[in-house]
Structure 1
Amino acid sequence: MSALLYAEQLRPGTVFDLGSTQISKEEILDFGRRFDPLPLHTDEDAAAASRFGGLIASGFHTTAVFQRLVVDAVFSRAAVIAGREITSLRMRAPVRPGSVLHGSMEIVEVRARDDGTAVVHSRGTLANGSGTVVLELEGTTLWAHRPPGGIEDGGGLDR
């Protein structure tokens, strides 16, 4: 297992590639039925008659997809303590069944605190296969600094 990525290793402008995932019709219907039961997300016939001309994913489903990608690619190997806030969330374009979404996260600011933690402001995006941005968000998370006497790992950022 690789060493944890700590707050002091982050630099503004660093961009993490979050990878890609494909969104299935079944996922859209399941999420919609469970959490956002609007006809656009749960009823193919009603969605076809809508201004979108077909089934689309809930914006909250799309946001959850971003969260999964960022956890898998970054947070699972980082000294993240907790999310603090989402300061901006923009749903730019519909996500349709079969869409392949690709994510990225950019470090905007790292603000050290006296308690051994740092507030990290980041910006994230999801784009579909044609490059259209479907989701933009900004927010802050709380990260730990390397504990005093912690083992050095050569800087941690391999990107």
Structure 2
Amino acid sequence: MSEIVYFEDVKVGDQTEFGPLNIGREEIIAFAGEFDPQPFHLSDEAAAQTHFGSLAASGWHTTALCMKMMVARWQREPGVQAASLGAIGVDELRWLRPVRPGDTLRGTSEVVETKASKSRPEMGVVKSRITLFNQRDEPVMTMIPIVMFRTRAA
């Protein structure tokens, strides 16, 4: 197992990459059918009547795919996952471009803030700017997750 990456080890400016992940038509429709059944997420015909023009993944699906890729990255470096205590929220979530069937997504993460907890010395809070890109290197989503990390004192 990799050495645990504690809160104290995380520094502003730390960067990582994750992905890639290819997105299929059936996956887009299945997610939308269960969690966001708006017509433009379910068929090209319905999407053609909107600004999307053709089938587009739900933004919530895009966000879930981001999480899937990040966790896959952490599982290759279990020291990071071992220190994570989960997230307390997300700031500035933006869906910038539609994700389409056949797109290949990849992501980058950069730590933008760290803050030790005053009331919970066993944890600190890390904010990172996440950007997802499609295969044309166009940003399709950005967000700033707020994640709790275990400290060495824990």
Per the normalisation by structure 2, the TM-score is 0.90
Alignment correspondent of 1:146: 152
Offset of residue 85 of structure 1: 1.1
3-state secondary structure, aligned to 2:33: helix
Offset of residue 52 of structure 1: 1.6
Contact 1:70 1:105 in 2 (8 A): no
Find 1:95's aligned residue among 77, 99, 110.
Answer: 99
Contact 2:43 2:54 in 1 (8 A): no
3-state secondary structure, aligned to 1:84: strand
Q: How does 1:54-69 map to 2 (within 5 A)?
A: 54-69=54-69
Q: Which has the higher helix share?
A: 2
Can you list the C-alpha shifts for 1:15-59, whole angstroms capped at 9, x where unaligned?
111121000001100000000000111122212332222100000
3-state secondary structure, aligned to 1:11: coil
Question: C-alpha distance in 2, partners of 1:18/1:100?
Answer: 12
Alignment correspondent of 2:113: 109
Alignment correspondent of 2:33: 33
Decide whether aligned partners of structure 1 residues 54 and 113 sit closer, same or farther in structure 2, where only a CA change above 3 A counts. Answer: same
Find 2:135's aligned residue among 125, 129, 150.
Answer: 129
Letter in 2 for 1:87: D
Unaligned 5+ runs, structure 1: 149-159
Kindly indicate whether residue 88 of structure 2 is the aligned counterpart of residue 84 of structure 1: yes
Alignment correspondent of 1:153: none
Offset of residue 139 of structure 1: 2.3
- What do you get for the CA RMSD once the two structures are aligned? 1.5
Unaligned 5+ runs, structure 2: none
Question: C-alpha distance in 2, partners of 1:71/1:7?
Answer: 18
Contact 1:32 1:38 in 2 (8 A): yes
Paired positions, count: 148
Contact 1:91 1:136 in 2 (8 A): yes
3-state secondary structure, aligned to 1:129: coil
3-state secondary structure, aligned to 1:134: strand
Question: C-alpha distance in 1, partners of 2:53/2:74?
Answer: 36
Superposition misfits of 4+ residues, deviation over 3 angstroms: none
Letter in 1 for 2:142: E
3-state secondary structure, aligned to 1:130: coil
3-state secondary structure, aligned to 1:74: helix
Offset of residue 147 of structure 1: 4.5
